Structure 1
Amino acid sequence: MTPFFGEFLGTMILIIFGAGVVAGVTLKGTKAEGAGWIVISIAWGLAVTMAIYTVGPISDAHINPAVTVGFALVGDFPWSSVPAYITAQLLGAFTGAAAVWLHYYPHFAKTEDTAAKLGVFATGPAVRHRPSNLFSEVLGTFLLVFVMLAMGSQAFAEGVNPIIVGTLIMVIGLSLGSTTGYAINPARDLGPRLAHAFLPISGKGDSDWSYAWIPVVGPLLGGSLGALSYQAWFEGTTTPALWMAVTLFILAVIFAVVLEQQSASKKPVDYEVIHTKS
């Protein structure tokens, strides 16, 4: 098996389990309906663990463009492989989302809430405030990549590392994830959002593309800052890439503030709360 297919398969597994638990909790008529945020957060953590166990020996199981880019920035992954990895991750996420749609097909038809249907595929904020939503995604992904790199310097018993990473995903979800649904992974959000847009889902609404840039840009910035900060603080190496990432973060926040001000000057859009994962 090639690393490309490993990333495809690992990300597909991640989304089948992750989006699958969201569907079970939020769609009508399932046996898990209404099980709540704790169930979603735990299942996403376990989904990451299972994906790493499956394809870790093949591709190192990045299953997340923010991890791939962050590792490349600090020299732990070759830049030449970044485009292929990200492509595989997006394709895997799309395919996993399509599988979840087929699995829950009658429940999508039974569910009238279009926001709940979108929430199976893509993240959305509990309170729509772009600067805060962006910061939430940056912070969550910063901690993800920073702590993953820190854990890489520790000696664990063989086979334990995937459980540790899954636990990290769970704690991010339980402590920080309830603001935006913690995508912390551009492929996790963009791939399934594209699936929502293209699949003939019964009674679906729009795919909320006005928000879609936040769970892509936020995790990429957070992952980059997490990796470069670890390199600076723990290894004593500060590169121009760190200051570039900081500058891009500031510019992204300014852009989000401007969008929020423009939105506030217009008639507000009534988006329903989407309780889902990343």
Structure 2
Amino acid sequence: MTYALGTRLIAEFIGTAIMVILGNGSVANVDLKGTKGNGSDWLVIAVGYGSGVMIPAMMFGGISGNHINPAFTLGLAFSGLFPWAEVLPYILVQFAGAMVGQLLVVAAYKPHYDLTTNTQHVLGTFSTINATKSKLNGFINEFLGSFILFIGALGITKAPFFKDNLGTAHMALGFLVMTLVASLGGPTGPALNPARDLGPRILHAILPLRHKGDSDWGYAWVPVVAPILASICAVAVYKLFFL
């Protein structure tokens, strides 16, 4: 069944919002002061982001394709696998969904934002931060993680193994993201998604949080540019050899 563009855009909006709520919500649970999960380990965040991708994929994979990521939308378009006429609408609702999702995270954790004086922990619940303050390392990390994400997403959803069971394929995407966060998340977070980073970062700059500190705009281009370039390369490589 082919869904109308409006229906697919609603799915992309809701899916991206859920991804941010579950992903950044897990960071807030671990890093914000006074939460039940404060001080938990990295695995909580990995599970949060993996589920944040898996659940929308299972809900909307058969409706909108569940891009929930401007980089993936652009990568597909550059390789002729997605119509350019729909790229801008998809990206706009993805950013809108990410921002609404982040607003809901702030609403859910507002007392804990007020208690948290570590500005890096506050920013980390919105956007990515390179642990060594290196843009080069951040770029390499984001590019590598994003490349694996996008070539993996195509490989899983288009694999003959999952041909008759795309629901299982969409579940596998969650495990892919969870593993990427667990394996490559140490240096940056990671973003792997321009909307997931830039949308919440804009809100971080705007919202009157008590201890928010700087929004680190000097680094903000890295989690936008690296995933987009990685997606273009990954989709092109997959198409060249396997489609």
Q: Distance in 1 between matches of 2:84 and 2:166?
A: 28
Structure of greater Rg: 1
Deviation at 1:234, TM superposition (A): 2.8
Q: Distance in 2 between matches of 1:159 and 1:18?
A: 21
AA aligned opposite 2:121: A
Q: Does 1:127 align with 2:132?
A: yes
Q: 2:51 aligns with which of 46, 54, 72?
A: 46
Once the two structures are superposed, residues 150-185 of structure 1 have per-residue CA deviations (whole angstroms, 9 ceiling, x without a partner) of 221333234212211001101111111111111000
Residue 108 of structure 1 corresponds to 113
Once the two structures are superposed, residues 211-256 of structure 1 have per-residue CA deviations (whole angstroms, 9 ceiling, x without a partner) of 0000000100111111111122334xxxxxxxxxxxxxxxxxxxxx
Is the CA contact 1:137–1:182 (under 8 Å) kept in the aligned structure 2?
Answer: yes
Q: Distance in 1 between matches of 2:36 and 2:90?
A: 36
AA aligned opposite 1:194: I
Q: Which runs of 4 or more aligned residues in structure 1 lie more than 3 Å from their structure 2 counterparts after TM superposition?
A: none
Q: Distance in 2 between matches of 1:213 and 1:122?
A: 12
Q: What percent identity do the matched residue pairs reach?
A: 43
- Map of 1:141-152 to 2, 5 A cutoff? 141-151=146-156, 152=158
Residue 40 of structure 2 corresponds to 35
Q: Distance in 1 between matches of 2:211 and 2:159?
A: 49
Q: 1:59 aligns with which of 64, 80, 85?
A: 64
Q: 2:94 aligns with which of 89, 93, 98?
A: 89
Once the two structures are superposed, residues 85-128 of structure 1 have per-residue CA deviations (whole angstroms, 9 ceiling, x without a partner) of 00000000000000000100100001101110000000011112
Is the CA contact 2:20–2:102 (under 8 Å) kept in the aligned structure 1?
Answer: yes
Residue 260 of structure 1 corresponds to none
Residue 164 of structure 1 corresponds to 172
Residue 3 of structure 2 corresponds to none
Q: Distance in 2 between matches of 1:194 and 1:232?
A: 37
Residue 155 of structure 1 corresponds to 161
- Name structure 1 gaps, 5 residues minimum: 236-278
Residue 257 of structure 1 corresponds to none
Relative to the length of structure 1, the TM-score reads 0.82
Residue 190 of structure 2 corresponds to 182
Q: Distance in 1 between matches of 2:186 and 2:234?
A: 21
Residue 267 of structure 1 corresponds to none
AA aligned opposite 1:153: A
- What is the RMSD computed on CA atoms of the aligned residues? 1.2
- Name structure 2 gaps, 5 residues minimum: 1-5
